Chains A and B, each alone.
Chain A
Amino acid sequence: MDFIDYYKVLGVDKSATAAQIKSAYKKLARKLHPDLNPEDKEANNKFQQLNEANEVLSDPDKRAKYDKYGKDWERGEEYEKYQQAQQQQRYSQGSSGGFEGNFDGEEDFSDFFSSMFGRQSGSRSRAQYKGQDYNSEVHLTLEEAYTTHKQTFSVNGKSIRITVPAGVADGQTIKLNGQGAPGSNGGPNGDLYITFTVANDAKFKRVGNDLYTTKEIDLFTAVLGGEVLVTTMSGALKLNVVPGTQNGTKVRLKGKGYPVYKKEGEFGNLYVTYTITIPTNLTERQKELFNELAALSKKD
């Protein structure tokens, strides 16, 4: 459990007045509020720390305790408990006037906060609110995202099994209702947002539902035409190469691209770009024939 410098979090001096703390908190909250920074984990974490900092520094009792023990808060807590037992006094609680909503439930407080002030100190009388939403990332290969499949992963120590529909996009986020943190004061559970990261692979590049690949063809096939085998995500395919195919020629294979998300049987296109390989290490006979061909071309 790391010590959190709440003054640093709020960007104020240790001698800051209550008004300065309130002002600093409001200013930063406007910037870091989760509703204004959707899917920004860093902003969400900072907002959590900001709420904690405000919870402590805007309450004179908590601030005094925090100032008293500072970095030694772990030992300070033990001493405090001892004193409390001796005097049989209860630690006073009160509202700090912090932001409400589904971000500042007690589950949102850091271990540091909970150890120092207890899990209940952050709660207060308020409206029913939905629990905190959780965010998670799932990494898939292009091949994995090509088919609908089941995947199990862990979020906040809870194992979750989901069906990943074919064609899920890189960066796409899906929502699982009610799989987030429990609601406060009887409110509904939060939701779980899963963001997929789909890696391109060496063979195919994906843009939307279309796939792009390259196919090397030899000079002779490019000049005279012929057949080549092209690998698609659903298997190999025989293609006719027309005579006189130029380097960089792009052909479109309709419906051989990536599956369209949640539209069974619909696929994007596959674009194959031909790269023509020029023969090297020619035999004497081959050189002779190429020279002959070159001479013929000059005559024409």
Chain B
Amino acid sequence: MESNELIPIHIFHLHYHVEEAFITSLYDLQLVEITTIDDVRYVAVNHLPQVEKLIRLHSDFNLNADALAVAAHLLEKVDNLQSELLTLRSRLRIYED
């Protein structure tokens, strides 16, 4: 991965006002992926939307990392159910039309 596709974790503190420990706790719960190069820990740019979402939920609702893990799991389930719903709707249309 190119270095310009990685964001050092310590920068998160400056931009999002969250402690590095918070990002580490997200990593411990497998909610974000962290890449370590020369002892510097990074988050890939393509994972940024997911990290930003977790930071928003953390700051907006005062959710800790465990609660975020539950929310992320449920949101993933909703996402899967929505995909399934779309497939079933298109299948149903065959018989309705």
Which residues of A are in contact with B by a Cβ distance under 8 Å? 29-30, 33, 35-36, 38-39, 99-102, 127-128, 130, 169-171, 187, 191, 200, 205-208, 212
Which residues from chain B contact A30 at a C-beta distance below 8 Å?
61
> Which 9 A/B pairs are nearest by Cβ-Cβ distance?
A101-B56, A171-B86, A205-B94, A99-B60, A127-B17, A128-B15, A35-B53, A207-B91, A207-B90
In the complex, what residue of chain B is closest to A175 when comparing beta carbons? B49
A207 to B90, CA, bound (A): 6
B52 and A102 contact, CB distance less than 8 A: yes
Contact pick for A207, options B16, B61, B87, CB 8 Å: B87
Q: B29 in the interface, Cβ–Cβ < 8 Å?
A: no
Which residues from chain A contact B61 at a C-beta distance below 8 Å?
30, 33
A101 and B93 contact, CB distance less than 8 A: no
Which residues from chain A contact B59 at a C-beta distance below 8 Å?
99-101
B97 and A205 contact, CB distance less than 8 A: yes
A102 and B93 contact, CB distance less than 8 A: no
Which residues from chain B contact A130 at a C-beta distance below 8 Å?
52
Given A102-B52, A169-B86, A170-B86: A205 touches B93 (CB 8 Å cut-off):
yes
Which residues from chain B contact A100 at a C-beta distance below 8 Å?
56, 59-60
Q: B6 in the interface, Cβ–Cβ < 8 Å?
A: no
**Which B residues, 42 to 88, have Cβ-Cβ distances below 8 Å to chain A?**
49, 52-53, 56-57, 59-61, 71, 75, 79, 82, 86-87
Interface residues on chain B, number (Cβ under 8 Å): 23
Extra A-B contacts (11), CB below 8 Å, given A205-B93, A208-B90: A29-B60, A30-B61, A33-B57, A36-B71, A101-B60, A102-B52, A127-B15, A128-B16, A187-B15, A205-B97, A207-B90
- Whole-angstrom distance between the Cβ of A224 and the nearest chain B Cβ: 30
Which residues of B are in contact with A by a Cβ distance under 8 Å? 15-17, 49, 52-53, 56-57, 59-61, 71, 75, 79, 82, 86-87, 89-91, 93-94, 97
A130 to B15, CA, bound (A): 10
Given A127-B15, A200-B93, A205-B97: A33 touches B60 (CB 8 Å cut-off):
yes
In the complex, what residue of chain B is closest to A199 when comparing beta carbons? B93
In the complex, what residue of chain A is closest to B62 when comparing beta carbons? A26
A36 and B93 contact, CB distance less than 8 A: no
- Whole-angstrom distance between the Cβ of A40 and the nearest chain B Cβ: 10
- Whole-angstrom distance between the Cβ of B6 and the nearest chain A Cβ: 16
A33 to B60, CA, bound (A): 9
In the complex, what residue of chain B is closest to A171 when comparing beta carbons? B86
A36 and B56 contact, CB distance less than 8 A: no
Which residues from chain A contact B97 at a C-beta distance below 8 Å?
200, 205
A163 to B88, CA, bound (A): 27
In the complex, what residue of chain A is closest to B92 when comparing beta carbons? A207
B94 and A207 contact, CB distance less than 8 A: yes
A200 to B79, CA, bound (A): 23
Which residues from chain A contact B57 at a C-beta distance below 8 Å?
33, 35-36
A240 to B76, CA, bound (A): 47
Which residues from chain B contact A36 at a C-beta distance below 8 Å?
57, 71, 75
A33 to B63, CA, bound (A): 14
Which residues from chain B contact A101 at a C-beta distance below 8 Å?
56, 59-60
A208 to B90, CA, bound (A): 8
A101 to B54, CA, bound (A): 11
